[in-house]
Structure 1
Amino acid sequence: MRSIWNGSISFGLVSIPVKLYSGSEDRKLDLDMLDKHDNARIRYKRVNEDTGKEVEWKDIVKGYKKEDGYVILEKEDFEKANIKKSKTIDIEEFIDETEVADVLFKKPYFLEPQKEGGKSYNLLRDALKKTGKLGVATFVMRQKEHLSLIGVYKKILVLHVIRFTDEIRDPSELKMSKATVKKNEVDMAVSLIEQYTSKFDFSKYKDVYNDQLLKIIDSKATGKKVKSEDFDSKPTPAKDLMAQLKASLDKKKKGKAS
């Protein structure tokens, strides 16, 4: 793996030099956009809107629109905005793991200690694991400030980039149903949840969609007709809800018995 950020983690007066690696990867198939008339690839170009000519990457700068012109920003300007945040993941407080809503999480990153930071890295890792806490930290990467949580995953420190509160849209705009739910329906749903509750095994969940899509690609490449399964997801009517819950519960119990 290739590190995407080098700096340090700080908590209190302890500073731990680390390297940051992406902890996930996109498994989406690499599909090209083509002209449907001749299957020629579509290319994007960086074009000067005044001259219509293509501009090379080396000639492109970033600017902020201000009044009638632009203020051009150089690489060092982004670092000057907050040198500390550009070089340090600063843990400002610790919270319980259970306090964070899942909707906040965006992307995980792995943290690797640099040579001189091994012991202090292990110290923070072991302390977080023992307390069940997460470190709340901010830092700047790719010219953007990130709010993050630092925890432990498989004996390493993992940094989760999370969303700031102003990045979460207000759900009050959603049109929610006012239908009432009976106590016996809730009790039956709870029983069904308990029947389906098990110890989480991360490895049993696979991305099967890409494999299925590749099979379609292979079939089409050989001129074979692509077969697909029919599927129609119908909403359960309110009058059938209890019966469907009971049927689901009976099905799960039979599955465990066999």
Structure 2
Amino acid sequence: MHTMWKGTISFGLVNIPVKLHAATENKDIKLRNLHQECKTPLKYERTCPVCDKDVDNEEIVKAYEYAKNKFVVLDKEDLENLKKENEDKAVEIMDFVKLEEIDPIYFERSYFISPNEGGTKAYALLRRTLQDTGKIGVAKIIIRSKEQLAIMRVYENTLLMETIHFPDEVRDVAEVPNVPEEAELGEKELSTAKTLVDQLTAEFDAQKYKDEYRESLLDLIEAKKNDEEVTTAKPQPTPDNVTDLMEALEKSLEKTKTKKTTTKKKTTSQKKSSQKKTSGKETGKTASKKTS
């Protein structure tokens, strides 16, 4: 199992060297987008709409948009220094609480915890302590440069860490629209609803719930593959230096023509303007002579 974090967990004076491993995986079936005409996978490129060109990774900077089209640019050095300040890999359990005191809305992602070298006994001690007291530990941990609130509990025979949302990350329920106030309900309706709940009540067995859509999609893909309803993307054309050179020359020639035309128009316009001024002066002189 892939290790995604190494560090220590401490409670009191007990330090446990541990490793974190992702406890869950996303099994969504990823579908590619193809060009309908030639069945070629589409490319998604980073382009700048103002400069009208592709942008390399080296040219990209991070920024925070604090208002519409107004940004605070954060340099790599700023982010690196911030990261170094928070690089402490020691996780201290701050409190022990009961699991039922935390609403499920706070839970985010789960990680299995395994002991690192020399941490087996301390790991077993924390596991047994949590089991006997029926408590879970609350701590903070930094994963991928982000500070997370987390809880530690026992899952089967293994310590489990679950990252949870900070309180200000959970939206206010008062913002949910169209929630009805307490409504008048008939006794018969309520009694029938409760009877239905009783009839459907069972012990939770995770194994009986399946992603039927994913299974159906996999069956469909397999059936099409067996019927040879498949397509192979055409090889992408290799750039031809001669063609590229010709294109570049033609574009340069077109640009030069446009420039010459623009310059010629400006010159003609300037000449006409100059002629008008000269004509105006000569008209003025003639008028002056006639007056005298």
TM-score range, shorter chain: 0.7 to 0.9
Correspondence 1:25-36 to 2 at 5 A: 25-36=25-36
The one-letter code matched in structure 2 to 1:70 is V
20-29 or 215-224, which deviates more = 215-224
Classify 1:68/1:102 alpha carbon distance in 2 versus 1 (closer, same or farther; 3 Å): closer
Does the 8 Å contact 2:112/2:160 carry over to 1?
yes
Does the 8 Å contact 1:91/1:135 carry over to 2?
yes
Give the unaligned 5+ runs of structure 1: 225-258
Classify 1:9/1:62 alpha carbon distance in 2 versus 1 (closer, same or farther; 3 Å): farther
Larger radius of gyration: 2
Classify 1:14/1:61 alpha carbon distance in 2 versus 1 (closer, same or farther; 3 Å): farther
Equivalents in 1 of 2:189, 2:153: separation in Å? 38
Equivalents in 1 of 2:207, 2:114: separation in Å? 23
Classify 1:88/1:125 alpha carbon distance in 2 versus 1 (closer, same or farther; 3 Å): same
Equivalents in 2 of 1:203, 1:32: separation in Å? 30
- Offset at residue 35 of structure 1 (A): 2.3
Correspondence 1:156-195 to 2 at 5 A: 156-173=158-175, 174-178=177-181, 179-195=183-199
Does the 8 Å contact 1:128/1:151 carry over to 2?
yes
Q: Deviations over 1:143-180 (max 9, x none)?
A: 11111111111210111111111111122222112432
Correspondence 1:209-248 to 2 at 5 A: 209-220=213-224, 222=227
Of 121, 124, 133, the match for 1:122: 124
TM superposition score normalised by structure 2: 0.67
Equivalents in 2 of 1:78, 1:113: separation in Å? 29
Q: Deviations over 1:82-123 (max 9, x none)?
A: 233xx1222110110111111111111111100211111111
- Offset at residue 62 of structure 1 (A): 5.2
Which residue of 2 is the match for residue 72 of structure 1? 75
Classify 1:64/1:197 alpha carbon distance in 2 versus 1 (closer, same or farther; 3 Å): same
Identity of aligned residues (%): 34
Does the 8 Å contact 1:110/1:158 carry over to 2?
yes
Q: How many residues align?
A: 220
TM superposition score normalised by structure 1: 0.75
Give the unaligned 5+ runs of structure 2: 230-292
Classify 1:69/1:169 alpha carbon distance in 2 versus 1 (closer, same or farther; 3 Å): closer
Classify 1:119/1:33 alpha carbon distance in 2 versus 1 (closer, same or farther; 3 Å): same
